[in-house]
Amino acid sequence: MSVSPSVFPYDDPRRYVRDWLQHRPRLSQRWLARKVESSPARVSMVLNQQRALPLDVATTWAKAMGLEGEEASHFEAMVAAENAPTEALREEAKRQVRAGQDFARATPLDSATNWLGSWVHLALLEAARHPSFDGRPEPLAARLWPPVDVETVEAAIADLLASGVLVRSDSGWRTDERPLRTALRVRDRPLAEAVAHMHHEQLAHASQALDALPGPSRHVVSVTVGLAKDRVPHLLEAVRTAPLHLASPHADDLPETIMEIVVAAYPRTVDP
């Protein structure tokens, strides 16, 4: 599965091309040079800011990366903002780029609905806290449990980049929880359904871990308790916050391994 970071948050065409290639480790600048009918040396100079990206080849570069419609227009506008022949045309292109960035900032919630119910995305966010995180999907896929394929990890990283929760810059990778916190505050039905799906999957994985993982690496405990009805809301609130209380003393540690903490509470009796 071919995935790309969203082009709309970008205002530098070279940075977008570098990130696009980064998400396709099987491709190279030499491959891109063939697609745009240029030399590897010229492509390298463009991406390293030693040469300008000519406006007359912007469409060819966009097509090589599979950009179409509004995405292609945004890429071409980034190039025009730097290299259009007149100041008026450059300013118009800059306005178009800013409009694309406004669009990108308006879509994180829609994007979050697509991935917030996925344990893979959340595990990758934790992995990204480690200084050695480099975004390469192959080693990440090899370490996740239950096993997932490389394409799933590639797509998840692209989703996180598009929503702004995962950020890649020249200085490395970092996480930004602001879009995530905003998404969690939204009480719409699709988002609630995504979270419910995630909880079903986590409970299934907890059951699977009993048979698939060695005892020293996991722990499952349960308790049955009787209580007054008016105490049930207090118990459920304690259950809701329990994972945070359990995890918080260790949250500053480097994530050399990733654990899932699942806490469930449900009634064993129902009113007749």
pLDDT tens sequence across 214-242: 988 998 888 888 889 899 988 888 888 78
CA distances from 182 to 27, 108, 113, 116, 173 (A): 35, 9, 12, 12, 21
CA distances from 243 to 182, 216, 237, 238, 248 (A): 20, 20, 11, 10, 8
pLDDT in tens, 169-212: 888 888 876 655 555 554 556 666 777 777 788 888 888 998 89
pLDDT at 103 over 70: no
**Residue 154 near residue 19 (C-beta atoms within 8 A):** no
**Residue 13 near residue 54 (C-beta atoms within 8 A):** no
The gap from C-alpha 198 to its chain's centroid, in whole angstroms, comes to 16
| Reported confidence tier of residue 27, pLDDT bands at 50, 70, 90 | confident
pLDDT in tens, 2-13: 456 788 889 999
Least confidently predicted of 42-56, 99-113, 158-172: 99-113
